[in-house]
Structure 1
């Protein structure tokens, strides 16, 4: 590790004098070589091992728009965008300027015995996108917003039950974890919330059966499931709304990943006529990629059931939830989405990429399905028919279900400088979740890279070499677990 006195000298030299501003960039630069050792010692060592195992330990040092640069100066196209946080790309100038203006303005931030003007402005803008809702509650993240929605639903209905779908993902705090459709996230953390039930996604008869007990406070559903990019039938959300109203349960749309233009509409529910949930949960992209923020948009009568008297005015809240930097990031983000026609660009570029991937599916036996909306795209790989590829596929599936996806992700990263990953644990689908600002040149980059890697994957010898290595790592990890 770098000697601490050397770091301190570097930072002091960069500052230039007692009256100068603190140069954090100098500190980061001086400690860059310690990036992975610091995380191994003080943070999550297992994650460092994962990055090194799959060759992703390149050390990103800069981000702008949809691009990343590593310590060697190589440029990458980021198709993860921080799991959808960087919908505007990294370091969008309008968001950055908004944050600087807050700091320069020396606002009276987080005066807890006052209210925030910026919070009111952001709430007004959000309700303008869902005018059938009337109130907003701000939080610090998507998971925290889901927790608030759980509490609101129980308070409003007087019912204990919370309903969610298999393969869902709503967060990793205890309430949201209780609605997680992947057991790997739950193992070792129980008991979780009682009265949380799971039903299949896209199954209206199962939903009605669960709601018929009249014990369900709310049904939480992602309009498009993030884990796998699972699409609903055209009539599914309309059926959800009808059944929730019939049985007195609240309909909660989790738009944490799908919202704010991701699918080519402001909300994913906007693809369906007449859908008006009782609550919409948003986060991720609302941050502008800078300051964490989440929000629950809700009906007034639900909100009033929680904050029903003056002595209950603070019955639920979060210390930093309406801080001026987060609110400014949200306001700026909504303005950029509108002024730069970001949502329209997501729709157009998504349509182009989906068409390109569907054409690949026609020519490559390993591509079993392509699905998505806008710039939320899933490319699913399935068991090949040809004998020369079956052996490798079976080896990988035996070692670890869904491992084949890494045979696509790793060469995309290593050989084509495209950063992406599978759409969930043991999932054979690679998910594209890029910045919504993609250009045609970026689409060319994506299409040519995927086409080259998928073509190589049909070469049995190439697949075997990488697949054998990945399988050995997976088996070794399982033995040592």
Structure 2
């Protein structure tokens, strides 16, 4: 009789040899062959409204390649990316160390996601993260920032026995139901209610409001971004220390959402590291931890909180996620942290951010439309505001009447179209353009950014000009689409 285990082993070996000898599956050729269908495929099967937005503002150039802080479109034109996938590509696109780590996992034929086992790579990545926050002891892995926030909500309620969840106005913690319940922008919530009960909002950077909200001792956790992504809002120097003191006073867990600000973005590994003695009960990370390839999120937490969730053997799997500790995600995280350390990327973010911020502050002194420049590291906001001169004020007021925040498009679109600089507006109805570039910028990249902004802002101070002509066009689109204040 044939030994079934031997027979199976033989088939597997033959299949493995065939896979290694066969011609590679050529996705690049498939994509190239159907490149002309890029927007029609999305319009038919995915989000047609987003395609219409891209075409309206002239962003339908079709990017075909990315490397470091640069993108190339279908014509071969090079752009500098100050968006970095909303902060995902902190070490730049397609970093070779992360790519090599992922290839090594695939070539190694690891026993991935056995489930009735544990992952060595997950243990290594958890160890590396805790080294950066030694006051915490445990890590829970998830597939995204939003999923990590959901875990933190559950952990906070389990640990405290309280129902309340507190967040700040203008916050953004994700778009799943729990995280959406803590979203400070109503446009994301409209049509999706009812949301999570017992979620409340207070002003950002307001310790008196926080104490009033905590005084009832029914709040499980206060979730706060050390620097708010929507607007690049930076708190007073004593705010986070005050948050910590009040949370401890009233028995509420202090949760720092470092999904965008963490992993070196602000010139420190965590944004909370700018403030001496600030040690939250949970720190949530994601985005940059992936290296831009395989999504991964994590909740770093105190052991006593973790033990309240996983408190018995029959509750060992009371919360989890099927793909959360997969070997590709863990390898991406390990490689990313090694790159951050070995290439001194946090230090580079601090230096280049200081240079750019100084340049933008100089522009704020010289141009009446620029009212502020703020940030830490390479998380920078350039805020525009009402001009004083009558000629510019009339044009500004016209745009604001049609749609609040429309002026920023008069800066971001020419930056993209004329200077090949990709940026984003910091939120709906917002007058701030946010820079969130890869942390690997060079001095030559800074020259490019500074000269582009200076040229576009200077043009905006001439009325009439190409910038204000664009404004009339955008206002017309907004009126036609029924978009108003």
Please indicate the TM-score interval, normalised by the length of the shorter structure. over 0.9
Q: CA deviation at 1:479?
A: 6.3
SS at the partner of 2:468?
Answer: helix
Work out which of the residue numbers 268, 271, 282 in structure 2 matches 1:268. 271
Structure 1 runs of 4+ aligned residues shifted over 6 Å read none
The 3-state SS of whatever aligns with 2:217 is coil
Query: Which residue does the alignment assign to 1:382?
Result: 385
Secondary structure of the corresponding residue to residue 167 of structure 2: strand
Matched residue SS, 1:461: coil
Per-residue CA deviations over 1:320-340 (Å, capped at 9, x if unaligned) read 000000000000000000000
In the alignment, is residue 440 of structure 1 matched against residue 443 of structure 2?
A: yes
1:425 aligns with one of 408, 423, 428: 428
Deviations 1:410-448 (A, max 9, x none): 000000000001001110000000000000000000000
From 465, 468, 481, the counterpart of 1:477: 481
Q: Give a deviation string over 1:24-51, Cα, whole Å, max 9, x none.
A: 1010000100000000000000000000
| Aligned 8 A contact 2:478 2:484 in 1 | no
Matches within 5 A, 1:299-338: 299-338=302-341
C-alpha distance in 2, partners of 1:464/1:403? 11
Distance (Å, rounded) in 2 between the aligned partners of 1:109 and 1:148: 23
5 Å-filtered alignment, 1:72-471, equals 72-462=75-465, 463-471=467-475
Q: Counterpart of 1:314 in 2: which secondary structure?
A: coil
Asked if 1 retains the 8 angstrom alpha-carbon contact of 2:402 and 2:484, the reply is no
Determine if contact 2:146/2:176 at 8 Å carries over to the other structure.
yes
2:44 is the alignment partner of 1:46: no
Q: Deviations over 1:144-163 (max 9, x none)?
A: 00000000000000000000
Shift in alpha-carbon separation, 1:18–1:128, aligned structure 2, 3 A: closer
Q: TM-score, normalised by structure 1?
A: 0.96
CA distance in structure 2 between the aligned counterparts of 1:459 and 1:89, rounded to whole angstroms: 36
- Residues in 1 aligned to 2:468 and 2:115: alpha-carbon distance in whole angstroms: 60
Give the unaligned 5+ runs of structure 2. 1-19
Cα distance in 1 between the residues matched to 2:32 and 2:352: 36
Check conservation: 2:403, 2:484, Cα contact below 8 A. no
**Residue 185 (structure 1) shift:** 0.2
Task: Note the C-alpha offset of 1:21.
Answer: 1.4
Output the TM-score relative to the length of structure 2: 0.95
SS of the counterpart of 2:464? helix
Identify if the C-alpha distance between structure 1 residues 373 and 480 changes in structure 2 by more than 3 Å, giving closer, same or farther.
closer
Contact 2:460 2:468 in 1 (8 A): no
| Residue pair 2:410, 2:468 contacting (<8 A) in 1 also | no
165-174 or 469-478, larger mean C-alpha shift? 469-478
Tell me, what secondary structure is at the counterpart of 1:151?
A: helix
Equivalent position SS for 2:173: coil
| Paired positions, count | 465
The equivalent residue for 1:5 is none
Q: What whole-Å deviation, never above 9, does each CA across 1:314-358 have from its counterpart, x for those lacking one?
A: 000000000000000000000000000000000000000000000
Q: Distance in 1 between matches of 2:213 and 2:114?
A: 44
Cα separation, 2, equivalents of 1:190 and 1:345 = 43
Assess if the C-alpha contact under 8 Å between 2:403 and 2:483 holds in 1. Answer: no
CA distance in 2, matches of 1:411, 1:170: 30
* Secondary structure at 2:64 match in 1: strand
Q: CA deviation at 1:19?
A: 2.5
> Does the C-alpha gap of structure 1 residues 103 and 207 become closer, same or farther in structure 2, counting only changes over 3 Å?
same
Q: Distance in 2 between matches of 1:64 and 1:303?
A: 39
The CA RMSD measured in Å over matched residues stands at 1.2
How big is the shift at 1:480? Answer: 11
